Amino acid sequence: MERVLEIKDLKTSFFTHVGEVKAVGGVSFYVNKGEALGIVGESGSGKSVTMMSLMRLLDDTGKIIDGEILFEGKDLVKISEKEMEKVRGNEIGMIFQDPMTSLNPVFTIGDQIMEPLIKHRGLKKKEAFDRSVQMLSLVGIPSPEKRMQQYPHEFSGGMRQRAMIAMALCCEPKLLIADEPTTALDVTIQAQILELMKDIKVKLNTSIILITHDLGVVADVCDRINVMYGGLIAETGSTKDIFYNPRHPYTWGLLNSIPNAESTIREKLKPIEGQPPDLLKPPVGCPFAARCKYAMKICEQQRPPLFEITPEHSSACFLNHPNAPKIKAPVGRGGYNE
Ligand code: SF4
């Protein structure tokens, strides 16, 4: 399969007045053409910093320390800021959690969708207008020509998110990054936006990275999932692997905290107890050890490598070692060494 993106051993830190925060501690993954990858984890897991590194949008204190970000063969870590500007919004589109922070309140929706088409694609105003109407219609905005003349405050939350998606897609990016795109929306609109993203993947064959703290959000849209914890990948696999054969106690915790829509009894959601690690002083061993009820001595002494379960499925947990105690996963259908 053709790879659109390949990240190799990415390390990103923030240099604050209290010291170096190792937000991403060495992360490798890829995205194939036309596939959707979910990146899931709590806040502070490194998922958004990984994406901000990829877009080279880190703030002044942030720095990529090491690694490669190969997009269509070129290393985004090495190219100039000018070249990067051509990649952002043109070859890689991005949608954020709150469209109001990305949409400019003083320009019409139409002007904002047309701008990258004129700037990056060199389209004439009329061509850009027609293309923008087409995009608004593709993302399900009724009366698109009329909507082009309106301002962001005249759109509902769901409509604004649709407009943002239209904006991100208008230059036909090869990769679309969506960072918590549905968090600010109510459940019905959330379902519609996720349905729209699935549709886009099929219709435009765009590769998608969907970043979220909620495993439930990626279930229906993504082909593969990276679970991140403490700035590292805890588990990676197909969506089926993660849901039916999860191999990491942190993934179990995330799965346990998803409400079960099919359940007929009132079940209490089980949050993951404890706090994420302090990345000013990252633990030597497994970053999840302090919260893990299966932690062994080795977990505090050594960082677990990614154990390969299948060529597509790996987990950074010592319980996957052939000599580890056999423990039945409390969620999904799988277990260790069974
Ligand atoms: Fe728990 Fe050890 Fe596995 Fe980390 S490596 S998740 S501490 S069992």
| CA-angle at 237, arms to 233 and 239, nearest 5° | 120
Within a domain: 151: no
Pocket test of ligand 1: the residue of 291, 296, 320, 336 to mutate, having most ligand atoms within 8 Å of its CB, is: 296
Could you tell me the distance, in angstroms and rounded to a whole number, from the CA of residue 251 to the centre of ligand 1? 11
Question: Strand, coil or helix: what is 40?
Answer: strand
Q: Does the pTM exceed 0.85?
A: yes
- From 233, 250, 299, mutation site for ligand 1 pocket: most ligand atoms within 8 A of C-beta: 299
Query: How many Å lie between the centroid of ligand 1 and the Cα of residue 273?
Result: 15
What letter would DSSP give residue 88? B
- Separation of alpha carbons 316 and 286, rounded Å: 8
288 lines ligand 1 (CB under 6 A): yes
Provide the domain count of the chain.
1
Q: Is residue 12 part of a domain?
A: yes
**What CATH number is given to the structural domain containing 251?**
3.40.50.300
In a domain, 104, yes or no: no
Distance 293 CA to ligand 1 centre (A): 8
Q: Residue 282 sits in which domain range?
A: 1-91+173-337
Helix (H) or strand (E) holding 39: strand 36-40
CB contact at 8 A, 141 and 159: yes
What separation in angstroms does the CA of 231 have from each of 6, 58, 165, 187, 336?
A: 17, 15, 28, 29, 25
Q: Is residue 148 part of a domain?
A: no
Secondary structure, 3-state, 306-324: CEEEECCEEECCHHHCCCC
Considering the domain boundaries, does residue 189 fall inside one?
Answer: yes
Per-residue pLDDT tens listing for the chain (338 residues): 799 999 999 999 999 999 999 999 999 999 999 999 999 999 889 999 999 999 999 999 999 999 999 998 899 999 999 999 989 888 999 887 776 677 889 999 999 999 989 988 889 999 999 999 988 988 889 999 999 999 999 998 888 888 988 888 888 899 999 988 877 677 787 888 888 888 888 888 899 999 998 888 898 899 999 999 999 999 999 999 999 999 999 999 999 887 665 555 566 667 788 889 999 999 999 999 999 999 999 999 999 999 999 999 999 999 999 999 888 888 765 556 54
Distance 14 CA to ligand 1 centre (A): 26
Q: Is 111 a member of any domain? A: no
Residue 160 lies in a domain: no
Question: What is the rounded radius of gyration, in angstroms, for the C-alpha atoms of the chain?
Answer: 21
Residue 306 beta carbon below 6 angstroms from any ligand 1 atom: no
Name the residue of 302, 319, 320, 326 whose CB sits within 8 Å of the most ligand 1 atoms, as the mutation to test its pocket: 319
Rounded to the nearest whole angstrom, what is the distance from the C-alpha of residue 307 to the centroid of ligand 1? 12
Instruction: Assess if residue 212 is contained within a domain.
Output: yes
Q: With a 6 A CB cut-off, is 319 part of the ligand 1 pocket?
A: yes
